[in-house]
């Protein structure tokens, strides 16, 4: 019982360490994405003068979004990306469906048959092996006793 009580704080400390490591990794992974999102709402001068700062009243700007929409055919690019994504997902789903059906209906039963046949072969080989016969002690031969006068007539 004392081991269970002593393991409790260690277990909680281990879980806390795991959570701390996961939170640190999350911050490292999401940090650059957050920085891009923050800098998307700042002027170019503000990005280079204070890249880690939040946009303020003087530095807030939507000029980047305006340039993207005005100078490029954003709708076409978005539709193109959407088409490629949907086609890829459809092909992966259809391929996965076909593969899983093939594995379930053909491969798995075939493997069961192969292993069942292999089991029968091994068992038949084990049963066929000649077993050494136990040696019996020699049976004493009965020799008829010589006839005596008391046997009859």
Residue 19 pLDDT more than 80?
A: yes
Spans of all domains in the chain:
14-71, 73-128
Which residues, at least 6 apart from 51, have a Cβ–Cβ distance to it below 8 Å? Answer: 35, 39
pTM metric for this prediction: 0.46
45-65 pLDDT per residue, tens: 999 999 899 999 998 999 888
Residue 27's pLDDT band, with cuts at 50, 70 and 90, is very high
Residue 145's pLDDT band, with cuts at 50, 70 and 90, is low
Q: What is the DSSP letter of 52?
A: T
| Alpha carbon distance 14, 53 (integer Å) | 35
Residue 141's pLDDT band, with cuts at 50, 70 and 90, is confident
| Alpha carbon distance 10, 19 (integer Å) | 14
- Mean pLDDT value of segment 89-99: 97
Q: Which helix (H) or strand (E) holds 34?
A: helix 2-39
Burial of 135 (0-12, 13-18, 19+ CB in 10 A): exposed
Residue 110 pLDDT more than 60?
A: yes
Burial of 75 (0-12, 13-18, 19+ CB in 10 A): exposed
């Amino acid at each position: 019982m004392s081991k269970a009580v002593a393991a409790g704080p260690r277990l909680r400390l281990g879980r806390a360490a795991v959570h701390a490591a996961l939170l640190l990794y999350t911050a490292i992974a999401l940090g650059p994405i957050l920085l891009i999102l923050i800098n998307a709402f700042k002027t170019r001068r503000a990005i280079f003068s204070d890249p880690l700062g939040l946009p303020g009243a003087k530095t807030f700007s939507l000029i980047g979004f305006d340039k993207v929409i005005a100078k490029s055919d954003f709708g076409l690019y978005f539709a193109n990306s959407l088409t490629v994504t949907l086609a890829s997902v459809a092909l992966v789903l259809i391929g996965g469906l076909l593969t899983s059906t093939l594995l379930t209906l053909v491969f798995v039963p075939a493997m069961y048959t192969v292993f069942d046949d292999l089991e029968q072969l091994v068992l038949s080989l084990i049963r066929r092996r000649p077993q050494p016969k136990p040696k019996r002690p020699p049976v004493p031969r009965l020799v008829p006793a010589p006839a005596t006068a008391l046997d009859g007539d």
